[in-house]
Amino acid sequence: MAAAAPLGLAAAAAEAAAVLLLLIGPFIPLPTGRRDGNRLVAADVAPFSPAPDVNITDIINLFAIRFNLTAKDVAILSGMLLASYISTL
């Protein structure tokens, strides 16, 4: 039975780079999940959510003020939300 072929130098370097990327980042500090563990109230969410009848300019301004996001960030976030919604249909 033949022994497994050793990884080439390029393959080993790529694997090492992938491991380093997983260990050291990049990371974006985002709040995730509920912190209290026992409460979910719509009133807690409302101040951070745009009203259903606002236009895109108001949405961009809201996210710029509250979360320091740019118009590009809002467009990417909206696209990701739309794509995840469509995938549930």
Percent of the chain with pLDDT over 90: 6
Integer Cα distance of 18 and 12 in angstroms: 10
**Residue 67 counted as domain residue:** yes
Yes or no: say if 40 and 34 are a contact pair by the CB < 8 Å rule. Answer: yes
- Cα 42 to chain center, whole Å? 22
Percent of the chain with pLDDT over 70: 71
Assigned token pair, 9: 């130098």
Name the residue with higher pLDDT: 61 or 89.
61
Integer Cα distance of 85 and 89 in angstroms: 7
What's the domain range around 62? 50-89
Assigned token pair, 30: 């985002």
Instruction: Tell me what the pLDDT averaged over the chain comes to.
Output: 75
**Residue 58 counted as domain residue:** yes
Q: Does residue 3 surpass a pLDDT of 60?
A: no
**Residue 20 counted as domain residue:** no
**Residue 30 counted as domain residue:** no
**Residue 8 counted as domain residue:** no
How does pLDDT run across 13-55, given as a tens digit for each residue?
777 777 776 677 656 666 666 566 666 777 777 777 788 898 9
